[in-house]
Amino acid sequence: MKSTIHNDVFLKTLNHQSTPYTPVWMMRQAGRYLPEYRESRKNAGSFLELCKNTEFATEVTMQPLDRYPLLDAAILFSDILTVPDAMGLGLHFVDGEGPKFHKPLLDEKSVQKLDVPDVENDLAYVFDAVKSIKKSLDGRVPLIGFAGSPWTLATYMIEGQGGTGFLNIKKMLYTRPDLIHHILKITAESVSLYLAKQIEAGVDVVMIFDSWGGVLTHEEYETHSLNYMKVIIANLNLMGFENIPKIIFSKGGGQWIDKQAKSGADALGIDWQTNLGEARKIVNDKIVLQGNLDPAILLSTPKAIKEAVRKVLDSYGHGEGHIFNLGHGITQFTPPENVECMLEEIRNYSKKFHAGN
């Protein structure tokens, strides 16, 4: 039985209900821009330990909410690469270089060995964290669970790390499409089970991060990225979770909004390179839009931040169906007081766009 949520503005927006203001949360809101996070990270000893230790994962999920009462949602502190890690690819983090895999999928033999992991046991630490965070939240705001999209996870699994030119995965895509689709199929099934278990543990909303969908060609985006996200949404609905709101976000995917709107998702994340007002016209208010402030604006001045916030809200315009967010994750160099400035401006300025005011 889900507990009562005291601040349900985020959920109301996802359900196309009227709200007194535009809700807001931030991608990577628990993270390196906060001194308290850096302290927890130091105490944990490593990033993976931060994710895998229930107490630490709860602590860092709660930190931004304790600092910023104007946030309307919490997001589980975890990493998109927990799923390939459970598949036995040997995830590790190198300081200054980010995530790497000891056993990337470089040949046919390794691809054919890939299988759906024992999600319930191998990723139990994630579900334990969800339960602990829900207890700490005590109904304060909803909790968002998440996973990486199959295409995005496949890029890390094949490249063996982030920050590449995607040449290995694209070579496989064009020369051995059978292998790519095998990886994407196994990963979509794994992510479906993973998100289902997060929901059972207590998350109120799930989001699929398609960080690298935008590197695909026009034709390949639908076949290799969007279609597999649609499979996950359909699977969750078949498992009985049709009432749990689902958000998809393809970074660099603004040209495919019309296709994303037909995915079965309840909301679309929009990056900062996309015009929010134009996106609203395309979806015709049939689907909620989330976004899309450039995270870099938070490195500037309060005056510039307030102006940028107003531009985003003006661009969406009057009415419901908008969740304020950044167009990608908050940068680690952001001064925490600039976040407060942004949140206050969103709360104050957005009220005039809602019917109740």
Per-residue pLDDT tens over the stretch 120-132: 999 999 999 999 9
Calculate mean pLDDT across residues 26-53: 95
Q: Checking DSSP bridges between strand 98-101 and strand 143-148, what pairing results, if any?
A: unpaired
pLDDT band at 134 (very low <50, low <70, confident <90, very high): very high
pTM, entire model:
0.97
Q: What is the residue whose two structure tokens read 């890690």? A: 85
Name residue 171's amino acid. Answer: K
Distance of CA 167 to the CA centre of its chain: 25
Give the tens place of pLDDT for each residue, 159-204. Answer: 998 877 899 999 999 999 999 999 999 999 999 999 999 999 999 9
Q: How far apart are CA 329 and CA 326, in angstroms?
A: 7
Element (H, E) at 130: helix 124-137
Edge-to-edge strand order for the sheet containing 74-75? 74-75, 143-148, 205-210, 246-250, 267-269, 288-293, 322-326
Calculate mean pLDDT across residues 291-303: 98
Give the tens place of pLDDT for each residue, 50-106. Answer: 999 999 999 999 999 999 999 999 999 999 999 999 999 999 988 777 899 999 999
Residue 78: CB atoms within 10 A of its CB come to 22
pLDDT band at 1 (very low <50, low <70, confident <90, very high): very low
For the annotated catalytic residues, the residue numbers are 28, 32, 41, 79, 156
The pLDDT value given to residue 356: 65
Q: How far apart are CA 289 and CA 247, in angstroms?
A: 9
The mean pLDDT of the chain is 96
Domains and CATH numbers, the chain: 33-292 (3.20.20.210)
Give the tens place of pLDDT for each residue, 220-262. Answer: 999 999 999 999 999 999 999 999 999 999 999 999 999 999 9
Q: Compute CA distances 332 → 29, 33, 68, 329, 335, whole Å.
A: 10, 4, 17, 9, 9
2 pLDDT exceeds 60?
no
Q: Compute CA distances 177 → 158, 169, 220, whole Å.
A: 13, 10, 11
The pLDDT value given to residue 233: 98
* HSE-up (13 A, CA, CB side) for residue 106: 7
- pLDDT > 70 fraction of the chain, expressed in percent and rounded: 99
Name residue 295's amino acid. Answer: P
